Amino acid sequence: MSAPSGGGASRDGYGAALLEMVGDDRVVVLEADLGKSTKSCMFRAEKPSHTVSLGIAEQNMMLVAAGMSTSGYIPFASTFAIFSERGFEQVRNGIARPNIVVHLCGSHGGIHTGTDGSSAQSIEDLAIYRTLPNMTVMHPCDDISAKALTLALRHHERPSYMRTARNKVSRAYTEESAAQLRIGKGHIHRTGDDVAIIACGVLLNEALDAAESLSQQGIEATVVDMHTIKPLDTELIVDLAKRCGAIVTAEDHSIIGGLGGAVAECIVSEYPVPVERIGVQDRFGESGGSDELLEMLHMKANDISKAAQRAISRR
């Protein structure tokens, strides 16, 4: 099964979802001078009364959102993934600790962000937010799934962090398939019994391409979009470990602490099988094209295929 044609950036899906929520007066949108980039500008254009500009001041934005939430509103606050990290302790103490429902979106995450260079390429956001009790952490792969998951957040009764990406990628979802998405449940895109590739974000496409090439070599892979890193769909992961006996994770994030770390923790505790992690190997990125960077950092489909073969050989 190949990915449906066309392309979309997950940040566009976030903006489209906000726009779809303009009819709900409880929804408020908070910006830190990056509305045009995160796509919260789409909501602002329709409903400025419920959009709060807070300037280049992320720490303040986190707690303003918390205050609005405790007064009955559903805040969606966004900035770049990397700048959200400046307010990490505010998220920790001001949002997650009192379990205040604020939905934080960090766009332009990962090295896929490209030419802006390493200062803009957050490769640790999923890891750090995952450590916080009460937090839900997500990283959808395309615009259609990002829209569906953002819409689902309106009824989600916990604080969340969602990373979106800057660049368009091939769509892995249609409106119909995205309608099946549930926060906390991995979505199976392809089924095979030899190896399981668990991916998120822009690497889902690479994972699907890897599965095609493995199939040509007689290796059948299951490919899962693990759009929710926390709470992790451990039931599915254990099932995949039992069925396939070898797992590869793929993410545009450090191999430390993100999807790969979360899956490895689950596997070690529940059902040990070989796990190979594709991601950024404990280094920072640099300026370059998205594909150039994926290639240089060994995060392309062929790298995932090789990792699958390594995992199978270790079985």
Q: Among candidates 38, 230, 278, 204, which has minimal Cα distance to 129? A: 230
The correct pick among 22, 37, 46, 57 for binding another protein (CB under 8 A) is 57
Binding-site size, another protein (CB under 8 A): 32
State which of residues 17, 27, 42, 65 lies at the interface with another protein (CB under 8 A).
65
Contact call for residue 232 and another protein (CB under 8 A): no
59 contacts another protein (rule: CB under 8 A): yes
Residues 99, 124, 189: CA angle, nearest 5 degrees: 85
**What is the closest distance, in whole angstroms, from the C-beta atom of residue 216 to another protein in the complex?**
55
CA-CA distance, 193 to 289, in Å (whole number)?
35
- Closest to another protein by CB, 87 vs 186, is 87
Strand partners, 222: 196
Q: Whole-number minimum distance, CB 125 to another protein, in Å? A: 20
Distance CA 16, CA 21 (A): 9
Q: Report the SS3 class of residue 296.
A: helix
For residues 70 and 269, which CB has a smaller minimum distance to another protein in the complex? 70
Handedness of CA 229, 233, 234, 236 (dihedral sign): negative
- Answer for which of 3, 21, 54, 240 binds another protein (CB under 8 A) is 54
The nearest distance, CB 92 to another protein, in angstroms, is: 8
- For residue 163, CA distances in Å to 5, 191, 192, 195, 253 come to 23, 26, 28, 27, 11
- Minimum CB distance to another protein smaller for 104 or for 259: 104
Q: Known catalytic residue: 58? A: yes
Q: Which of 58, 124, 206, 251 is catalytic?
A: 58
Q: With binding defined as CB under 8 A, does residue 224 bind another protein?
A: no
Of 60-68, 237-245, 281-289, 303-311, the segment contacting another protein by CB under 8 A is: 60-68
CA dihedral of residues 202, 208, 209, 212 (deg, nearest 10) = 180
Q: Which of residues 8-37 bind another protein (CB under 8 A)?
A: 25, 28
Show the tokens assigned to 209. Answer: 């391409």
Amino acid at 9: A
Give the burial class of 244: count Cβ atoms within 10 A of its Cβ; 0-12 exposed, 13-18 middle, 19 or more buried.
buried
Pick 56 or 188: Cβ nearer another protein: 56
Question: Given candidates 9, 16, 34, 66, which one binds another protein under the rule CB under 8 A?
Answer: 66
| Of 93 and 215, CB closest to another protein | 93
Any alpha helices (H) in the chain, and if so which ranges? 10-20, 35-38, 41-46, 58-70, 81-84, 88-91, 125-130, 143-153, 175-178, 203-216, 234-244, 259-270, 290-296, 301-313
**Member of 7, 20, 33, 60 binding another protein (CB under 8 A):** 60
The distance of closest approach from Cβ of residue 96 to another protein in the complex, given in angstroms and rounded to an integer, is: 11
Residues 83-122: x where in contact with another protein by CB under 8 A, - otherwise, as a string: ------xx--xx--xxx-----------------------
Query: In terms of Cα–Cα distance, which of 239, 229, 284 is closest to 260?
Result: 229
* Residues acting as catalytic residues: 58
Q: Which residues bind another protein (CB under 8 A)?
A: 25, 28, 49-50, 52-55, 57, 59-73, 75, 89-90, 93-94, 97-99
